[in-house]
């Protein structure tokens, strides 16, 4: 057994079983399919700084493996990713710190978008705000039929900062992306599929079987095929835009440090405490 951060590899079986320590990210690789699970049920799989680091470690392990497909999912069935961890990120109050945070997560999701393998987002639960940004960083989105997805950052007086605005425009078109982000609309699975935001919608009862079958179908191709296809398609339609990073993170930071954002956060906290 070889230890790699929070992941232990069994070289004989070729499987990377989960080893849960301080990390809330699990990784397994079986028959060419790598599955990375964000498992933070107490925070609805929200992303904090430790989660960012753990995901980076998991992606390193996948890139160095013989996997043909990468699947991203959330633990449980309530949330895929609920966005950034407000409790943890609430300490960020300066423009510079907000820019640094946005760039840190954006860099991680740019890595997902540019990953050498096809990436499937298996939407086991709601994908809201930053969670929707994680979803559109993937190449393919398959969703259970009872989930909702939306770029609802506007309800907190902010905007997508992790590359999601640009990627959404690429996925659904400029006007639809502007409408989705500016209104904060939450789409059910069927509406999201009609919009082009979700590729496949399957019944909740068969969701785990469906996404696994899709991943294994892709992984069953000839060795190297998925990497070659991803390289060609990625070159034709790049899904990350580093030239836009400075303006996007600066705009986000100005909103993050604004009074409207913190008033919205306080209102949300008050609603949760009384609810």
pTM, entire model: 0.91
User: pLDDT below 50 — which residues of the chain?
Assistant: 1-22
d(CA 129, CA 155): 10
Q: Which CATH architecture has domain 2-206+238-274?
A: Alpha-Beta Complex (3.90)
Query: How buried is 93 (Cβ within 10 angstroms: 0-12 exposed, 13-18 middle, 19+ buried)?
Result: exposed
What is the DSSP pairing of strand 2-4 with strand 7-9? antiparallel
Question: For the purposes of burial, counting CB atoms within 10 Å of the CB of 129, is it exposed (0-12), middle (13-18) or buried (19 or more)?
Answer: buried
The domain locations on the chain are: 2-206+238-274
For residue 196, give the DSSP letter.
Answer: T
Q: What Rg do the C-alpha atoms of the chain give, in angstroms?
A: 18
- Identify the residue whose tokens are 């990627």: 167
Give residue-wise pLDDT tens across range 195-229: 999 999 999 999 999 999 999 999 999 999 999 99
Is 148 in a helix, a strand, or coil? strand
Q: Helix 130-137 to helix 95-113 angle, to the nearest 10 degrees? A: 30
Cα dihedral 146→126→194→157 (10° resolution): 140
């Amino acid at each position: 057994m070889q230890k790699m951060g929070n992941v232990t590899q069994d070289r004989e079986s070729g499987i990377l079983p989960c080893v849960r320590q301080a990390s809330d990210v699990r990784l397994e690789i079986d028959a060419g399919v790598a599955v990375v699970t964000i498992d933070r049920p107490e925070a609805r799989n929200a992303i904090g700084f430790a989660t960012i680091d753990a995901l980076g470690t998991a992606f390193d392990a996948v890139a160095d493996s013989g996997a043909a497909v990468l699947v991203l999912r959330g633990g449980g069935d309530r949330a895929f990713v609920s966005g950034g961890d407000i409790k943890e990120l609430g300490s960020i109050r300066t423009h510079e710190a907000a820019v640094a945070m946005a760039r840190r997560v954006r860099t991680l999701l740019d890595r997902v978008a540019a990953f050498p393998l096809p990436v499937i987002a298996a939407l086991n639960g709601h994908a809201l705000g930053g969670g929707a940004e994680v979803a559109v960083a993937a190449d393919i989105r398959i969703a259970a039929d009872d989930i909702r997805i939306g770029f609802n950052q506007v309800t907190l007086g902010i905007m997508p900062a992790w590359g999601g605005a640009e990627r959404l425009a690429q996925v659904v078109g400029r006007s639809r992306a502007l409408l989705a982000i500016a209104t904060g609309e939450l789409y059910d699975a069927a509406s999201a599929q009609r919009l082009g935001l979700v590729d496949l919608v399957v019944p909740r009862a068969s969701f785990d079987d469906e996404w696994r079958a899709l991943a294994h179908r892709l992984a069953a191709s000839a060795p190297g095929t998925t990497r070659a296809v991803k390289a060609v398609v990625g070159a034709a339609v790049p899904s990350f835009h580093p030239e836009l990073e400075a303006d996007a993170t600066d705009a986000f930071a100005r909103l993050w440090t604004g009074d409207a954002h913190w008033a919205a956060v306080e209102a949300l906290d008050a609603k949760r405490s009384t609810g």
